[in-house]
Amino acid sequence: MSVLKVTKENFDVLKKSEKTVLIDFYADWCGPCRMVSPIVDEIAEECPQYLVAKINVDEEPELSAAFGVSSIPTLVVMQDGKIKEISAGARPKAAILAMLQK
Amino acid sequence: MHIYDIIIIGGGPAGYTAALYATRAGLDAVLVERMSPGGQMALTGEIENYPGFDEGVDGFTLGMKMQSGAERFGAKTEYAEVLSVDFSENIKKVTTTNGELFSKTVIIATGADPRKLGIDNEERLTGRGVHYCAHCDGRFYKDKIVAVVGGGNSAAADALFLSRLCKKVYVIHRRDTLRATKIYHEPLMKAENVEFLWNYTVQEILASDGRASGSVLKSTVNGDTFELKVDGLFVSIGREPMTSFLNGAVELDGNGYIIADETTKTNVAGIFAVGDVRTKALRQIVTAVSDGAVAVHYAEEYLNSNN
The whole-angstrom separation of Cα B293 and Cα B109 is: 12
| pLDDT value of residue B10 | 98
The residue ranges of chain B whose pLDDT is under 70 are 307
The whole-angstrom separation of Cα B289 and Cα B306 is: 26
The whole-angstrom separation of Cα A20 and Cα A44 is: 12
Residues in chain A closer than 8 A to B140 (CB atoms): 69-71
**Identity of the residue in B97, B127, B211 whose CB atom sits nearest the CB atom of A74:** B127
Nearest CA in chain A to B36: A35
| DSSP string over A48-75 | TTEEEEEEETTT-HHHHHHTT--SSSEE
Kindly provide the ipTM of the predicted complex, given to two decimals. 0.73
CB spacing of A70 vs B129 below 8 angstroms = yes
Per-residue pLDDT of chain A (102 residues; tens, 9 = 90+): 789 999 999 999 999 999 999 999 999 888 889 889 999 999 999 999 999 999 999 999 999 999 989 889 999 999 999 999 999 888 889 899 999 998
Beta bridge partners of B32: B9, B78
What's the CATH architecture for A4-101? 3-Layer(aba) Sandwich (3.40)
pLDDT above 70 covers what percent of chain B?
100
Distance from CA of A76 to the nearest CA of B (A): 13
- Residue B93: count of CB within 10 angstroms of its CB: 16
The whole-angstrom separation of Cα B82 and Cα B7 is: 11
Catalytic residue among A21, A22, A33, A76: A33
| pLDDT value of residue B46 | 80
For chain B, domains (ranges, CATH) are: 3-113+239-306 (3.50.50.60), 116-235 (3.50.50.60)
The whole-angstrom separation of Cα B17 and Cα A48 is: 37
Residues in chain A closer than 8 A to B113 (CB atoms): none
Residue B32 CB partners (closer than 8 Å, separation 6+): B7, B8, B9, B10, B11, B77, B78, B80, B82, B94, B96, B101
CB spacing of A71 vs B126 below 8 angstroms = yes
**Identity of the residue in A29, A71, A92 whose CB atom sits nearest the CB atom of B127:** A71
